[in-house]
Each structure stands twice: as structure tokens, then as C-alpha cells.
Amino acid sequence: MTDISKTYYVTTPIYYVNGDPHLGHVYSTVAADVIARYKRLAGYNVYFLTGTDEHGQKVAQTADAMGVTPQEVTDRFSQAFRDVLPKFHITNNDFIRTTDNRHKETCQYFWKKLEEAGAIYLDKYSGWYAVRDEAYYGEDELQDGPDPETKIAPSGAECKWVEEESYFFRLSDYQNKLLAYYQENPDFIGPKSSASEITSFVKAGLKDLSISRTTFNWGVPVPNNPDHVMYVWIDALTNYISALGYGSEDDELFQKFWPADVHIVGKEITRFHTVYWPAFLMAANIALPKKVFANGWWVVEGEKMSKSLGNVITPDSLLQSYGVDGTRYALLREMPFGNDGNFAHDNAVNRINGDLANGLGNLAQRSLSMIAKNAEGQIPLPSSFTEADRQLLNMAYDLPSQTEPFINAVQIHKYLEMVWSVINEANAYIDLQAPWKLKKENPERMQTVLYVLAEVIRCVAIMAQPIIPVGAGKILDQLVIGHEARVFENLDNEHALKPGIVLPAPQGVFPRLELNKDEAAA
Ligand code: MSP
């Protein structure tokens, strides 16, 4: 049962609306969805937020290039991101747009809080700015560009010199406070490689941060100075609290769910989330998120995804090639969460065939067919359990306690590995116990073996729901498990399958994919 005092708040980055969604965006969203679903099934009251980041120069320039207004561009692409969610069975509780009024109001309230705290002052900014990254860079971080007006950021983005009046945030005041916070909260930044990178960055010294722009107006106006719009990152980061109603009349969600348990972010935006965001929050006297975890980047068949190479993998092509479960599984199983990796079609197909079709699919299909044929299509009546039976059942019952630390540490791939290790054990158990032989030799023992298998399938299907919600749901339907019973606390003896329950005719759940992409998509 959900314990309302046990809350959990997980977020994705909010996506820029200067282009269509692709595999990289699906990845962050699916990862956060797995965590959200896991925690719900573990009894938490979960809030899961995603959305779109709609202001700033990058979006304004995209609108210009397309010959439409920024609002038109944001409406169109925001909708494109929103449309992806149901296709992958994403269970977000809310979708925040930074052009929502509720968001703009919170931004202005937050700004005033920072001002009241004396953390903001007006001055003049001159320095290098990369529109692609929406980021300011120090001279020492840059390389010479093709002409004297241009420099190149470490990310490869072009930087131009800007000079304008700007509000500044006193980031330099927070160097020691941030370092102390990282030290006292060693799990605040993950993975470890990101934590050390950020710590060195902060140790090298922090300059005050320019947080407003005057040369365009596509942004949240700075309170009491309409010549300025807020720098897109202060606006964007505030989404995590504006969606909860921070600073509004109804801040019940904020009271309940803040601080966030985990922000899932891409590795390239860790600095914004682990330096700027906590410093803003400290200044406004708001609690800090408990964890920021950076996912790595996918390349595709060894190449960086890019429009010019024509190798951008769209959400629809993922669905067509691998389906909902296949995509979710392949994305999370192919590379350790936090690392970079290569998305290769053949590997994804082999993974899906090996682990879904042959692994879980075969386990369910073999076991349920034998039950249909040899146990009158009912949950069999077990007699006494052997050591092997007990061992397998206990492995299954231990899955919630064994996997939760992995979810807490955002080691999603380890959670998958652990669930599949039980599936593999169960497949090995069938081969060893050979129930088809027992049919004549020892029918009573056969019933016990089939019972153990059905019970283990119940457990692994419950555990696999966050990852492969469609197929896991179908398996649980075939075991006639009610929806409210598909929760982790039911992985025990007390909730074990009741003998005699009549099962529907078994059906295959995970089709095998063809290696040839055209055939798979056909
Ligand atoms: N708008 C900012 C985030 C603001 S959060 C307050 C932004 N948006 S983005 O659309 O450019 O990227 C969002 C996320 O997409 C990245 O952080 C990253 O997690 C994910 N990815 C985009 N391309 C990716 C890959 N090729 N591989 C994996 N994930 C990548 O940054």
C-alpha cells in the first residue's frame, strides 16, 4: 500500500523546443519513468515531472530561421515532446512548459527572493556566450574560432563576444558553501566521475553569474525592469519548483514533494544543476535536491547523432523497430547508466531477443503452456518444497530489497541485471527439473515444479513492470493477478499464488525480432 508520508520526487531535464525529440530525449525520460514506476510499486507517493524549456536566444533564433513567432515554435515542438510520452507509456504526473503562466510567476517570485537576500546586483557583462549551449564561458576554457569574433567552447559550440547591462548573481559567495555541501553529501552528485569534475570546477574558483539579457526579449521579464529578461538557465532550473506551486497560493505539492529526490540530467548540463541551482536555492533559503545524476550520451552506430549525417533516431523509428518494451529495455540494458555508449541496431535486437523473447518470454511461455496442458490450466497444487525450490523462490522474494539500493543510487542497469539473473535461474531450473519428464515419473513433483515456476514468474513480472510495462502486464494478466496486487510488498509467501485458480490460455508476450531492420519495421 502507498504510504502517503513516503514521498518521492523525480524529474527529467526539460527539453529545448528548437527541434524534434530523438533517442537521447527518450532515454532520459524512460530512465526517470523507470525510477518513478519502481518507487510507486515500492509504496511511495511519487511525483514525476517532465516538460519543455521554451525561452532563450536559441529558441528565438530557431523561430527566426523558420519565419514564425517564438510562441508558434514553442507550441509546435512542446507538443511534439508531449506526444512522445504516451507512446512509451511514460507515467509523468505533470508536464511543465516554461511559457506557462504558473512558471513565469514562480520565476519572478524566486527572483525577488534572491534580490531580497542581497544575492543579485546590476552591472555590465562582457564575455563569451554560446547560444547553442545557452552558456557563458571563461576565456581560459575556449579555443580560437574561424575568425577573431568567434571562439569555440569545449562542447564544440560557437561563442560570440557579448557586452550588455546585466544582473548578476553572487555565485562567488557560494564556492565554499558548495564545496562543504558536496563533502557532507557525497552522494549528491552522481556518477562519481561527474562529482570529481564538478568539485574541481568549483575549487578553481567561481565568478559571479550573469543572469539577465537585454538584447532579445524571449524570456521571463525581470521584475521591475522590463528591459531585461531572465537568463534562460535561471528560468529553466526553476521549473522543478514552479511545477510544485512554489511561491503560489497553492503550494501543497511543494510542501509535500520538495526537495526532489533525484534530478536526472545529461552529463553536459551537470554544472547548471550542481553549481548554479544549489547556489540559487541556498540564497533563497530553499532545501537542496537530494541527488543530481548525470546520464551519459549515446552515439549511434559509432557516430554522433546529427541532422547533417541523417542518423538521428526518432521516437517513432524506435517504436517501429523495437516496440515500447523493446526500446525501454534496450536503452537501459545496453549501457551502464551514467556511461556513454553506442546504440547499435544489431546489439539492440540481440538483447531484446535474448533477454525478452528467449529469457522472460520463453520462461513464461514454457511454464504456462505446461500448466495449460498438464495441470488442467489451473495454478497447480504444490507438495513439499525442495531446497532448490526454496532457493529460487527466495531469490525472487528478495528482489525488492536487493534492487532498491540500485534504484536509489540510479544504477538502473544493475536493477535490470538482478531481475534477469532470477529469470535466468528460473530457466536453468526448468531445464534441471525437467517437468516434462516428471509427468510420468512423479506427477506430484511436476505439480510442485510448475507451481514454483508460476510463482517465480509472478514475482519477476511484478519486478519487471517498471522496465517493460506492457509485456509484464500481459504476463500478470495471464496469471490472473489483480492490478492492485502487482506491488512489491506482495513478493512473499503470504501473497503467493493460490492453487486452483483457473488461467486463461497462454499467449506469447515478446515476439522475436528479425535482425534485418526493414523486416523488423515491416
Ligand atoms: N533545456 C536544457 C535542460 C534544462 S533542465 C532545467 C537541455 N535541453 S536538451 O533538449 O538539449 O537536452 C536535454 C537532455 O537530453 C540532455 O540533458 C540529455 O540528457 C538528453 N540527450 C540529448 N541528446 C542525447 C544523446 N545523444 N544521448 C543521451 N542523452 C542525450 O539541455
Which residue puts its alpha carbon closest to atom 17 of ligand 1? Answer: 266
Q: Could you tell me if the CB of 28 is within 6 A of ligand 1? A: yes
| Pocket-testing residue among 10, 12, 16, 277, ligand 1, by greatest number of atoms within 8 A of Cβ | 16
Of 185, 217, 214, 211, the residue nearest 276 (C-alpha) = 211
CA of residue 414 to ligand 1 center, whole Å: 23
CA distance 325 to 465: 10
Pocket test for ligand 1, best of 27, 106, 314 (most atoms within 8 A of CB): 27
In the reported structure, the alpha carbon of residue 312 is separated from the centroid of ligand 1 by a whole-number distance in angstroms of 14
234 lines ligand 1 (CB under 6 A): no
- Would you say the CB of residue 8 lies under 6 angstroms from ligand 1? no
How many helices and strands, by DSSP H and E, does the chain display? 21, 18
Cα 11 to chain centroid distance, Å, stands at 7
- Beta-bridged to residue 120, according to DSSP, are 169
265 touches ligand 1 (CB under 6 Å): yes
User: Which of 228, 292, 240 shows the shortest CA–CA distance to 110?
Assistant: 240
What burial letters (b/e) apply to 215-248, b meaning 16+ CB within 10 Å? Answer: eeebbbbbeeeeebbbbbbbbbbbbbbbbbbbbe
Could you tell me if the CB of 266 is within 6 A of ligand 1?
yes
Q: Is the minimum distance from the CB of 343 to ligand 1 under 6 angstroms?
A: no
Cα 425 to middle of ligand 1, angstroms: 37
Per-residue CA distances from 299 to 152, 296, 483, 491 (Å): 22, 10, 38, 38
Exposed/middle/buried for 132, CB within 10 Å: 0-12, 13-18, 19+?
A: middle
Atom 22, ligand 1: which residue's CA is nearest?
A: 24
Q: Which long-range contacts (CB under 8 A, 24 or more apart) does 218-221 make?
A: 218/55, 218/56, 218/57, 218/59, 218/60, 218/63, 218/70, 219/55, 219/56, 220/55, 220/98, 220/103, 220/104, 220/107, 220/108, 221/108
Mean pLDDT, each 10-residue run in order, the chain (522 residues): 85 96 98 98 98 95 94 97 98 98 98 98 94 91 92 94 96 98 98 96 96 95 96 97 98 98 97 98 98 96 89 97 98 93 96 98 97 97 98 98 98 98 98 95 97 98 98 98 98 98 97 73 43
Is there an atom of ligand 1 within 6 Å of 19 CB?
no
* CA atoms of 12 and 92, how far apart (whole Å): 10
Using a CB cutoff of 8 Å and minimum separation of 24, what contacts does 334-338 make?
A: 335/296, 335/298, 335/413, 336/411, 336/413, 337/31, 337/293, 337/295, 337/296, 337/410, 337/411, 337/412, 337/413, 338/190, 338/191, 338/193, 338/194, 338/293, 338/294, 338/295, 338/296, 338/410, 338/411
What's the pLDDT score for residue 522? 40
In a mutational test of the pocket of ligand 1, which residue from 194, 231, 269 has the highest number of ligand atoms less than 8 Å from its CB? 269
CA of 209 from ligand 1 middle (Å) equals 22
Sequence-ordered list of residues with C-beta below 8 angstroms from that of 518, at least 6 positions apart, any chain: none
- Residue 428 and residue 356 in contact, taking contact as beta carbons nearer than 8 Å: no
Compute, in angstroms, the gap from residue 30 CA to the centroid of ligand 1. 13
Cis ω for the linkage preceding 466 (within 30 of 0): no
Instruction: Tell me the CA–centroid distance for residue 215 and ligand 1, in Å.
Output: 25
Ligand 1 centre from 297 Cα, in Å?
9
What CA–CA distance (Å, rounded) separates 19 from 307? 10
The rounded Å distance from CA 380 to ligand 1 centre is 50
Contact 27 CB / ligand 1 (< 6 Å): yes
Phi, psi of 179 (to 5 degrees): -60, -40
Closest residue by CA, ligand 1 atom 13: 15
Residue 216 Cβ contacting ligand 1 at under 6 Å? no
Nine-digit cell at 323?
A: 516496440
Q: Specify the residue with its C-alpha closest to ligand 1, atom 5.
A: 13
- Name which residue sits closest to atom 11 of ligand 1, judged by CA: 16
Residue nearest atom 16 of ligand 1, based on CA coordinates: 266
CB 13 less than 6 A from any atom of ligand 1: yes
Across the beta sheet with 221-222, what order do the strands follow?
Answer: 212-213, 225-230, 221-222
Q: Domains (ranges, CATH) in the chain?
A: 345-495 (1.10.730.10)
Rounded CA gap, 142 and 156, in Å?
10
Distance of CA 184 to the CA centre of its chain: 26
Q: How many CB atoms lie within 10 A of CB 482?
A: 7
Strand 292-295 to strand 189-190: parallel, antiparallel, or no bridges (unpaired)?
parallel
- Ligand 1 centre to CA of 269 (Å) is 8
Query: What is the whole-number distance in angstroms between the Cα of residue 511 and the centre of ligand 1?
Result: 32
Give the dihedral of Cα atoms 180, 182, 188, 194; nearest 10 deg.
Answer: 160
Please list, in sequence order, all residues whose beta carbon lies within 8 angstroms of the beta carbon of residue 37, skipping any fewer than 6 positions away: 91, 465, 466, 469
Instruction: Identify which of 335, 466, 447, 450 has the alpha carbon closest to the alpha carbon of residue 399.
Output: 466
Q: Is the CB of 133 under 6 A from ligand 1?
A: no
- SS3 letters across 40-93: HHCCCEEEEEEEEECCCHHHHHHHHHHCCCHHHHHHHHHHHHHHHHHHCCCCCC
